[in-house]
Amino acid sequence: MLTAAGLRAATVTGVRRLVLLTAGHVVAPDDPDGALHGNRRYAGSLPGMAAHPLLDDLRAALGDAAVLTDPDLLAGHARDEADLCDSGTPLAVVRPRDTDEVVAVVRAAGRHGVPVVPQGARTGLAGAANAVTGAVVVSTVAMDAVREIDPVGRIAVVQPGVVNAALARAVRERGLWYPPDPGSWESSTIGGNVATNAGGMCCVKYGVTSEYVLGLEVVLASGEVLRTGRRTAKGVAGYDLTRLFVGSEGTLGVITEVTVALRPAPEESLTLVAVFPTVAAAGGAVAGIAERGLTPSLLELLDRTHLRAIEAYRPMGLRTDAEALLLAAVDTGARAADDLARLSEVCIAAGADEVYAATDATEAAALLQARRLAHPAMERFAAETFPGGNGGLVIDDVAVPRGRLAELLDGVARIAQACQVPIGVVGHAGDGNMHPNIVVDRADPGSLARGRRAFDEIMRLGLDLGGTCTGEHGVGLLKRDWLAREIGPVGVRVHQAIKAALDPAGLLNPGKMF
Amino acid sequence: MLTAAGLRAATVTGVRRLVLLTAGHVVAPDDPDGALHGNRRYAGSLPGMAAHPLLDDLRAALGDAAVLTDPDLLAGHARDEADLCDSGTPLAVVRPRDTDEVVAVVRAAGRHGVPVVPQGARTGLAGAANAVTGAVVVSTVAMDAVREIDPVGRIAVVQPGVVNAALARAVRERGLWYPPDPGSWESSTIGGNVATNAGGMCCVKYGVTSEYVLGLEVVLASGEVLRTGRRTAKGVAGYDLTRLFVGSEGTLGVITEVTVALRPAPEESLTLVAVFPTVAAAGGAVAGIAERGLTPSLLELLDRTHLRAIEAYRPMGLRTDAEALLLAAVDTGARAADDLARLSEVCIAAGADEVYAATDATEAAALLQARRLAHPAMERFAAETFPGGNGGLVIDDVAVPRGRLAELLDGVARIAQACQVPIGVVGHAGDGNMHPNIVVDRADPGSLARGRRAFDEIMRLGLDLGGTCTGEHGVGLLKRDWLAREIGPVGVRVHQAIKAALDPAGLLNPGKMF
């Protein structure tokens, strides 16, 4: 493994040649753009895939039942939930059951020069798990064992296919808590959460996935098994390889085991809702909350578009006349009531029309559930906005310094008006991490173009405000150009150098991220 | 930059040749071991250093006053505070004032094939900052500006030479808090803290340095300036290069700016002392505290050797008859008294003879101060233990899962007896991170050998208990062999590949870590 990178060629599926460049780029010979902008999607007809000799190797190693080539099934594994992203048709989907089987798959694919695309539950929103035509998709869903829960060490050891909610419930039974809670938590896998460094609503106080990953087992492009990190609370032995793999979107290795840190089960929390006459006023309240040194355990913003979409999707008496709503929670035990009062003061000072506390846990849970419905509710809203069900949703993700949140919200409103597309805004206001959701008519090229323009203008605004092009959804295929703009040419070269060092043939999830 | 790594040779100081291998190894031709175990120290006489042409380049770029070649000064910059580690005599010590000057130094050194060793305050305990003979030492002490403190974004932007305590005080004036508090915090620099991923007493609740580093500016081996990370609370744009550089001990680049996250100023805390008849009972209490879901903001252990050393160093009425003392604090505001009571219960259940709370902030501060004096007090104790002031202290650092702490403490006591060397134990018990401090007679080869044997046995014990060879002090020169043992051959190869990708000529802090 880890041989010096060099120019080499590999035949993929016997149809076209991919030229593998030193930096892990995979470009079709007729796609010079790929050499400049990274690894472009390989697309083409693929006669004869069913007879690819790699399939025999895979079946020999995993058994027939774990190697899927049914066209419907392949199509079902073509993509994650991101819009605006291309995807290809894989040669096969394999479902290894353990690390040895992953090693066998990666080694076999390497021998045949075939790309490998890891997939969890395909709930990602950046196309990072999208299939590459002719690749082997490694689905980790059959690797779903919770191997260990240690209440004293406050760690759990799990296979990558364990669903976030399943881990959360398993540790809760032991009085422990796994905080990262992406919107997809009921279906997304820990492996996918780690590969994308997933965020969620708890992050504002408790941090994102990478804060909870202590160690990993990873199958490298060479087929070697790397163990990173530790089981201890602290450790500084060597480079932080664990965090290099967290968020690397499957481009550096296939994660086969995860050791996570846990916390004691959270205390009871109190929840507050503040209703604002403008989204910018809500943004101002977020800055005020930070400035006052308050640390809510949840601080979410929903704009009017989302409030209406959620109320239409599941009526629950939300204030659909409000321009924006802030949902906050505090969980500092005996101090909670004091903290809630201080939050309330800040919201009123920032211009809130009305502030009320949830009367009990049931009401608080209902408010949280409303927030969790934002995504499906907006998808329904988008679908119904245009005739024939052609409405689609481009889910964006941008983070700015908390103090610039009001400017971001104002700017998104301006962009919506200028581009003549509906944009609703929802997100983790306490982190300055918002999801402007752009409604487009998939059947109308003009609408798609305006949506794309709005998307780009939001990205540009985010960077101009000192922010980042992705707060939690990742780069995948959706934001490669924006990543390059954010990190600059030196940053891109360092990414390419690390990729080439660990995956010299560029076979691991090619074309993603950069 | 980042050209494919290859075999090349460089002349260093015109005296001997260093052969630079692909993986960033620098080995003397007569040291074949270096090819297997990483980069060995270059040692030799160095006539003609004063005339090295690189010096002219450095003086032209930085001015004469920032290029130091006085032999006493060079000797003063030869090493950090680690014992048992070799060091060399640098060609020069330079004190750049800004990033451009660091770029000029790195480029000039690169042109001449001369190694670059970054140094902060040289308070490290693993030899990571030790000079390599013939190298240019880049001291960051003149880059000591706090550039920005943003109370809403809760970040600060600082140059690497800012002393930890200076940053802590500057942000405290704005109602903010920078938690990482290594023992050296009054003198160590943020750049050094970042390069070693320094820990401290706050870590048990608030995490280590890497949890607080949002972004970096780094001068790469090529002289290019890389910006990593972000100013936002969240962000997942690209590989986590920030954390790749945190803890990389100067082997991947020279850090020239750090963006850190801050917290609101901490609440008042309550402090508790528990006195134990055995160290293992204190270890059991730590496990019980974790098991009960308690989250003290400080949980430190001092054994009888340390209690006596501290009391001798500065009499303050410590219970020197105790076998071990646990020092705990809680800072959850209105809940603190409850939490303290629960901590107390656990300690008594684990066998504590006596538990008492600090009566006021002054007493609590005195107890903390006692803990902070452990290091100098033990150095004094070691010096006085053997005639002629030849006593020395080998400060070890090992972390095990919290549930194995009692076994570690028992094991260290056995090792001390078997090796016939005095070993005191102090450390961050709540993290399972202990510092067994081995007292040796520098003038007695037998004592040194026994001390070395005890050191190795403690490392072996730590790994056997599922721990790591370094919880917070780092690898440097002291623990290269133990790092290799901990991470295994695949881990070493991945380290080498990343090093070669970013520093193909192996000129950045050669010989450190692996």
Domains and CATH numbers, chain B: 1-266 (3.30.465.10), 270-464 (3.40.462.10)
CA-based R_g, chain A, Å: 23
* Stretch among B65-69, B114-118, B333-337 having the lowest mean pLDDT: B333-337
Locate A210 and state its tokens: 């990478």
**pLDDT, tens digit (0-9, with 9 covering 90-100), for B188-215:** 999 999 999 999 999 999 999 999 999 9
Question: CA A38, CA B445: separation in Å to the nearest integer?
Answer: 59
- Per-residue model confidence (pLDDT) at position A9: 30
To test the contact with chain A by mutation, choose from B99, B196, B224, B234 the residue with the greatest count of A C-beta atoms within 10 A, namely: B234
Q: Is the predicted pLDDT of residue B29 greater than 70, yes or no?
A: no
What is residue B48's predicted lDDT score, i.e. its pLDDT? 58
Look at residue A175 and give its three-state secondary structure: coil
- The helix/strand/coil state of A451 is helix
Residues of A in Cβ contact (< 8 Å) with B154: 290, 402
Give the pLDDT band (50/70/90) at residue B101. Answer: very high
The whole-angstrom separation of Cα B157 and Cα A182 is: 30
State the Cα–Cα distance between residues A295 and A352, nearest whole angstrom: 19
Take residue A151 and report the two structure tokens written for it. 């209440």
Rounded to the nearest 5°, which phi and psi values hold at A35? -70, -25
Q: Which of A208, A240, A295 sits opposite B234 (nearest CB)?
A: A208
Do B236 and A486 make contact, defined as CB atoms within 8 angstroms?
no
Average pLDDT on A373-388 reads 92
The partner residue sitting opposite B494, judged by closest CB among A196, A226, A236, is A226
Mutation site, A234, A249, A513, interface B, largest B CB count within 10 A:
A234
* Residue in B220, B232, B246 closest to A467 by CB: B232
Radius of gyration of chain B (CA): 23
Chain B residues in contact with A240 by the CB 8 A cut-off are 197, 210, 240, 243-244, 246-247
Q: Which residues of B touch A209 (CB under 8 A)?
A: none
Is A235 within 8 Å of B468 when comparing Cβ atoms? Answer: yes
Chain B: give the shortest CA distance to residue A356, in Å.
24
Residue B36 reports pLDDT greater than 80: no
**Cβ contact B246–A224 (<8 Å):** no
Helices (H), A46-163: 53-62, 71-76, 99-112
Q: Higher confidence at residue A452 or residue A12?
A: A452
pLDDT at B440 exceeding the cut of 50: yes
Q: Work out the minimum CA distance from B471 to partner chain A, whole angstroms.
A: 4
Burial of A395 (0-12, 13-18, 19+ CB in 10 A): buried
User: A6 φ, ψ to 5°?
Assistant: -160, 170
Q: Rounded to whole angstroms, how far apart are CA atoms A223 and B175?
A: 51
Tokens standing for residue A114: 């075939």
Task: Report CB contact under 8 Å: B471, A264.
Answer: no
As a whole number, mean pLDDT of residues A443-459 equals 96
Q: Do B291 and A497 touch (CB under 8 A)?
A: no
Residues of B in contact with A199 (CB under 8 A): 234, 236
Residue A272 and residue A294: Cα distance in Å, rounded? 14
Contact yes or no for A500 and B501 at CB 8 A = yes
Q: Helix or strand or coil: residue A183?
A: coil
Q: According to the model, what pLDDT value does residue A11 have?
A: 27
A113-125 tens-digit pLDDT: 999 999 999 999 9
SS3 of residue A290 by DSSP: helix
**Strand A136-139 relative to strand A92-94: parallel, antiparallel, unpaired?**
parallel
Banded model confidence at residue B409, pLDDT cuts 50, 70, 90: very high
**Cα B412 from Cα B66, distance rounded (Å):** 46
Of chain B, the percentage scoring pLDDT greater than 90 comes to: 84
Contact assessment for residue A391 and residue A83, using Cβ atoms and an 8 Å cutoff: no
Rounded to the nearest angstrom, the minimum Cα separation between A52 and chain B is 31
Residues of B in contact with A472 (CB under 8 A): 234, 236
Which amino acid does the sequence have at B57? D
Own/partner contacts of A14-17, CB < 8 Å, gap of 24 or more, are: A14/A48, A14/A52, A15/A44, A15/A45, A15/A46, A15/A47, A15/A48, A15/A134, A16/A42, A16/A44
**Residue in chain B lying closest to A514 (CA):** B238
Q: Which residues in chain A have their CB less than 8 angstroms from residue B469's CB?
A: 237
For an interface test with A, the pick among B148, B226, B236 (most A C-beta atoms closer than 10 Å) comes out as B236
- B493 is written with which tokens? 């190869």
A135, A117 Cβ separation under 8 angstroms: yes
> Do B513 and A275 touch, CB atoms closer than 8 A?
no
* Residue pair A422/A416 in contact by the 8 Å Cβ criterion: yes
Give the integer Cα–Cα distance in Å for A339 and A346: 11
pLDDT per residue as tens digits for the range A127-181: 999 999 999 999 999 999 999 999 999 999 999 999 999 999 999 999 999 999 9
Q: Collect all residues with Cβ–Cβ distance below 8 Å to A324 and sequence separation of at least 6.
A: A275, A276, A278, A279, A281, A282, A301, A302, A303, A304, A409
Chain B residue at shortest CA distance from A199:
B234
**pLDDT band at A510; cut points 50, 70, 90:** very high
Q: Write the CA distances from A60 to A34, A67, A104, B447, integer angstroms.
A: 35, 10, 10, 59
Element (H, E) at B276: strand B270-276
Closest CB to B399: pick one of A6, A234, A495.
A234
Measure B239 CA to nearest chain A CA, in Å.
6
B482 contacts on A by Cβ (under 8 Å) = 237
CB contact under 8 Å between A236 and B290, yes or no, is no
Task: Return the pLDDT at A269.
Answer: 87
- Chain A positions in Cβ-Cβ contact with residue B249 (cut-off 8 Å): none
The complex scores an ipTM of 0.91
For position A219, what pLDDT does the model report?
98
Contact B493 A1 (CB under 8 A): yes
* A307 has a pLDDT exceeding 60: yes
Of B20 and B291, which is predicted with more confidence? B291
Whole-number Cα distances in Å, A331 to A202, A205, A296, B346: 11, 10, 7, 24
Secondary structure string (H, E, C) spanning B312-358: HHCCCCCCCCCCEEEEEEECCHHHHHHHHHHHHHHHHHCCCCEEEEC
Band (B46; pLDDT cuts 50, 70, 90): low
Nearest CA in chain B to A479: B237
> Closest to B290 (Cβ–Cβ): which among A152, A230, A333?
A152
Note the pLDDT of residue A273. 95
* A243·B243 Cβ contact <8 A: yes
Closest to A381 measured CA to CA, from A334, A437, A430: A437
- For position B23, what pLDDT does the model report? 28
The predicted structure's pLDDT at residue B424? 97
Contacts of B287 in chain A (CB under 8 A): 152
**The dihedral of CA B108, B113, B118, B119: what is its sign?**
negative
For the stretch B213-269, pLDDT in tens is: 999 999 999 999 999 999 999 999 999 999 999 999 999 999 999 999 999 988 778
Q: What pLDDT score does A46 carry?
A: 53
What does pLDDT average to over chain A? 90
Is residue B115 predicted with pLDDT exceeding 90? yes
Distance CA B11, CA A509 (A): 42
pLDDT the model gives residue A48: 58
Q: Please answer whether residues A487 and A495 qualify as being in contact, where contact means their C-beta atoms are separated by less than 8 angstroms.
A: yes
Cβ-based contacts of A402 with chain B (< 8 Å): 152-154, 233
Which of these ranges, A279-283, A337-341, B140-144, B157-161, has the smallest mean pLDDT? A337-341
Give me the torsion for CA of A474, A479, A482, A488, rounded to 10°.
60
Which residue in B154, B43, B140, B143 sits closest to B93, CA to CA?
B140
pLDDT-derived band of residue A311, with 50, 70 and 90 as boundaries? Answer: very high
B238 to A466: CB separation less than 8 angstroms, yes or no: no
Rounded CA-CA distance A208/A196 in Å is 10
Q: Out of A196, A244, A433, name the one closest to residue B244 (CB).
A: A244
Distances (CA, A) of A453 to A382, A426, A446, A483, B156: 18, 20, 10, 17, 34
List, in order, residues 6 or more apart from B167 with CB less than 8 Å away.
B146, B156, B158, B178, B190, B260
Q: How many angstroms separate the CA atoms of B321 and B323, rounded? A: 7
For residue B336, give the nearest of B405, B267, B439 by alpha carbon.
B267
- Residue A230 with chain B: CB contacts under 8 Å: 399, 467-468
- The shortest CB-CB distance from B234 to any of A152, A203, A243 is to A203
CB B176, CB B400: distance < 8 Å? no
Residue from A291, A306, A246 nearest A436 by CA? A306
Q: From the candidates A214, A239, A246, A433, which should be mutated to test the interface with B, based on the most B CB atoms within 10 A?
A: A239
Q: How far is A185 from chain B (nearest CA, A)?
A: 18
Q: How far is A36 from chain B (nearest CA, A)?
A: 17
β-pairing, A423-428 vs B67-68, is unpaired
Smallest CA–CA distance from A475 into chain B, residue: B237
Q: How far is A27 from chain B (nearest CA, A)?
A: 20
Mutate: best of B1, B3, B239, B332, partner A, most A CBs <10 A: B239
Across the A/B interface, how many CB contacts are shorter than 8 Å? 305
Cβ–Cβ below 8 Å for B293 and A155:
no
Residue B84 — very low, low, confident or very high, per pLDDT cuts 50/70/90? confident
Residues A512 and A403: their CA atoms lie apart, in Å, by 32
Element (DSSP H or E) covering residue B502: helix B480-502
Confidence of residue A5 (pLDDT cuts 50, 70, 90): very low
Q: Average pLDDT over chain B, rounded to whole?
A: 90
DSSP code, position A429: G
